[in-house]
Amino acid sequence: MHEEPQTNIMGTMPVDRLVLTMSWPVMLSMLLQAVYNLWDSICVAQVSDDAFLALSLAYPVQMLMIAVCVGTGVGFNAVLAKRLGEGKAEEASRVACHGYFLYICSWLVFLLFGLLGTRVFFTLSIDDPAVVEDGVQYLTICCCLSIGMCMQFVSERVLQCSGKPMGFMIIQGSGALINMVLDPVFIFLFDMGVVGAAVATVIGQITGALIGFWLVWRNRKHFPIHPRRFRPEGAIIRPIYRIGAPAIVMQSVSSFMSLGMNQLLIRWSETAVWVIGVYFKVQSFVFMPVFGLNNGLVPVISYNYGARSRERIVHSIRFGVKLGLVILAAGTILLWIFPGVLLRYCFAASPEAMEMGVYALRVIACSFLFAGVSILSSSVFQPLGYSRYSLWVSLLRQLILLLPLSIMFLALRPEWVWWAFPITEAMVMAVSILLYRKVYRETIQKI
């Protein structure tokens, strides 16, 4: 049977260049989000330790909201892309309308929590009235006005599926930039403190959403959406959540991990919660480019698996792992050399927080390279049909091993708790390597 020559860049472009081409837009977008989150936290840290502690305790809830939006987007993307690929424009339009409908429903859930659940959440988390009040004000605004975040997500996915991937960067980048500009204005100039940080966040999100609406409207000739004829259909909603629900669970793992660590550490020291809050903000800056690289590797491996090109699959895996480890090695070195500078000048650390934080950040930084191997292994497992391995690696990294080890160290000697991170990551890296060898023998080697 005659085979047509490959013209898709996935099968023809040099692998190193291809991985970079597929990864850099997502890496840049995720890095922008990490920078904005870090800047937000740096500004709040200048207000007071209580204000930053409130942000640290609110972080898991914000991550859970993002997990719901990202996971829903996975299912929505899959169903919308399928309809577009089949040339069913009318059905694709209905799917797009369902996307907006489902994200509005998600916002209503967040709104309900913002109105009824934030005070309960904070009073269960900490006894300090000042921290509770700051946290309630911040999280109530972020939850109740999260409509901007939800609409950002759905517009990004519509643009991606309709062949306008740069819209993803424009929406996220514009929202993040506006947030960064407004943070010091509201927090310091208007002296609004934590409330100012929340207001800047939601204004940035709503602005990004409005830009997203405009970009989708501009694309109406190529992909028209007809909301006037919209009616919710179970036949569309069910497959979206059948695909999206597992993704929501996977995305939620990190939220439950940070929530669990906060609840464990608060029983030892509020300063420890402050320190872990700094770590979560800093590590997102280091890890987001690696997650973007992971996103870029998945389609490269998937395409070449379909094209039966073992050489390109192996080459892309090796290049991706090397690049990811270089990024994480740079993050490790920086955190080892400059933890004091970071804590003093960026987060206005107290002497107690400085002493604990320098030690904690250096210890946890030892886990970065181990974690990189585990994260990048997911880019192999997912496209080759071993998604369950990715789920297990994620659960082991962030719940099954980390939290019990943390409990054990807190019971034996609390200051050892930071070692739970590198020990966990080293153990999970060993598991990831064993799973990769199994996948290689069963699938890659047989191509």
Structure tokens at 403: 């939290």
Structure tokens at 106: 């998600």
Contact 177, 96 (CB under 8 A): no
Distances (CA, A) of 110 to 64, 91, 346: 10, 29, 31
Query: Could you give the CA distance from residue 42 to residue 52 in angstroms, rounded to a whole number?
Result: 9
- Residue carrying the six token digits 């049977």: 1
- What's the farthest any 2 CA atoms get from each other in the chain? 75
401-407 average pLDDT score: 96
Residue 310, pLDDT above cutoff 80: yes
* CA gap 179, 172 in Å, rounded: 11
- Looking at residues 307-327, what average pLDDT do you find? 91
429 vs 286: which has the higher pLDDT: 429
**Tokens at residue 169, please?**
């960067």
Contacts of residue 125, Cβ cutoff 8 Å, sequence gap at least 6: 57, 135, 262, 263, 266
pLDDT in tens, 34-93: 787 888 889 999 999 899 999 999 999 998 998 899 889 878 877 887 787 777 888 889
User: What is the distance between the alpha carbons of residues 208 and 424, in angstroms, rounded to a whole number?
Assistant: 38
* Beta carbons of 384 and 439 less than 8 angstroms apart: yes
Tokens of 93: 């339009």
Non-local (6+) Cβ contacts of 63 within 8 A are: 252, 254, 255, 258
Confidence of residue 8 (pLDDT cuts 50, 70, 90): low
pLDDT beyond 70 at 5: no
CB burial of 334-368 (b: ≥16 within 10 Å; e: otherwise) equals bbeeebeebbeebbbbeeebbebbbebbebbbbbb
Look up residue 27 and give its two tokens: 């890496």
